[in-house]
C-alpha cells in the first residue's frame, strides 16, 4: 500500500471508529502525524485527498475539520465524475434512474403531505397546455426532484440529483424532435400525481417507470 493510501486509511479509521466525529477539528499536524506513525508530508497528501471528496474541510488559518458527513456533501464528488460523462453513457444513467426513481416515487406516495401535493399541482399548472421543451424539462426536473425529496431518503435524493445533468440535454432534444412528447409527458406527470394523491405506492412506481422508460426507449432508438 502506498504511503499516502495508508495515511488516508488511518484517518478514515479514526472517523469510522468514532475517534473523530462530524464537525471535529483534527489534532495539530505534527501531533496527528506522530500518533499515526506517518510523515507530515504523507499526512498532508491524505488530508488533501479527503478534502477533495468532502470528508475533510481545510480552513486556512483555522485548521482541518471533519465535515458534516451528510450524504449530500459526500456525494458532491460524484457530480464531478458525472460531469465527465460521455454521450454514449447517457443511456446508462437513464437505466440507473429507472431503477432508483420509481422506488423513490413509491416511498413518496406513503409520506407526501397535502402541502407537498399542492405544490406539485401548482407546478404542473404553471406549465400551461403548450410549454416549450426547455421549460417543460426544467419543470419536469423540479417535479421529480420534489417527489424524490418527499421519499425522505437523503442518500437516494443525492444520488438522483447527481445524475440529473447528463439526462437534461437528451430530454430537451426528445421534446424537440419526437412528436407528441410534450402532451405525453404532461399526461404522465398528472398520472404520477394522481397516484401520489391516492397514496398508492405501486401505481406511483408503475407510472414513474413508464415515464422514465419512455425517454430511455427513445434514446436507445436514436441512431
Return per-residue pLDDT of the chain as tens, 223 residues.
577 788 899 999 999 899 999 999 999 999 999 999 989 999 999 999 888 878 899 998 899 999 888 876 666 665 555 555 455 667 777 788 889 999 999 999 999 999 999 999 999 999 887 788 778 888 888 999 999 999 999 888 888 887 776 555 555 555 545 667 788 888 999 999 999 999 999 999 999 999 888 877 776 776 5
* pLDDT for the residue numbered 138: 85
> What sections of 53-153 are H helices per DSSP?
71-74, 76-82, 90-111, 114-125, 133-150
Report pTM: 0.65
Length of the chain: 223
Give the angle 71-75-79 at the CA atoms, nearest 5°.
150
Looking at the chain, the domain(s) classified CATH 1.20.120.530 span 76-221
Arch. (CATH architecture) of 3-69: Orthogonal Bundle (1.10)
217 vs 24: CA distance, rounded Å: 48
Looking at the chain, the domain(s) classified CATH 1.10.10.10 span 3-69
* pLDDT for the residue numbered 184: 86
Terminal C-alpha separation, the chain: 45
* pLDDT for the residue numbered 123: 95
* pLDDT for the residue numbered 95: 84
Return the number of other C-beta atoms located less than 10 Å from residue 39's C-beta.
Answer: 12
Arch. (CATH architecture) of 76-221: Up-down Bundle (1.20)
* pLDDT for the residue numbered 79: 58
Amino acid at each position: 500500500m502506498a504511503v499516502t493510501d495508508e495515511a488516508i486509511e488511518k484517518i478514515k479509521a479514526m472517523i469510522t471508529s468514532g475517534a473523530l466525529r462530524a464537525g471535529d477539528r483534527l489534532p495539530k499536524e505534527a501531533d496527528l502525524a506522530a500518533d499515526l506513525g506517518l510523515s507530515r508530508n504523507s499526512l498532508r497528501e491524505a488530508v488533501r485527498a479527503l478534502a477533495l471528496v468532502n470528508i475533510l474541510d481545510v480552513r486556512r488559518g483555522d485548521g482541518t475539520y471533519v465535515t458534516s458527513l451528510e450524504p449530500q456533501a459526500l456525494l458532491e464528488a460524484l457530480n464531478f465524475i458525472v460531469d465527465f460523462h460521455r454521450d454514449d453513457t447517457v443511456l446508462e444513467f437513464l437505466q440507473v434512474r429507472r431503477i432508483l426513481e420509481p422506488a423513490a416515487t413509491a416511498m413518496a406516495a406513503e409520506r407526501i403531505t397535502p402541502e407537498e401535493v399542492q405544490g406539485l399541482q401548482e407546478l404542473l399548472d404553471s406549465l400551461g397546455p403548450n410549454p416549450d421543451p426547455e421549460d417543460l424539462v426544467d419543470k419536469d426536473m423540479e417535479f421529480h426532484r420534489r417527489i424524490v425529496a418527499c421519499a425522505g431518503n437523503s442518500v437516494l435524493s443525492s444520488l438522483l440529483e447527481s445524475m440529473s445533468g447528463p439526462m437534461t440535454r437528451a430530454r430537451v432534444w426528445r421534446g424537440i424532435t419526437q412528436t407528441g412528447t410534450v402532451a405525453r409527458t404532461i399526461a404522465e406527470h398528472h398520472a404520477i400525481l394522481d397516484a401520489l394523491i391516492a397514496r398508492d405506492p405501486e401505481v406511483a412506481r408503475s407510472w414513474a417507470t413508464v415515464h422514465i422508460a419512455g425517454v430511455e426507449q427513445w434514446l436507445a432508438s436514436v441512431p
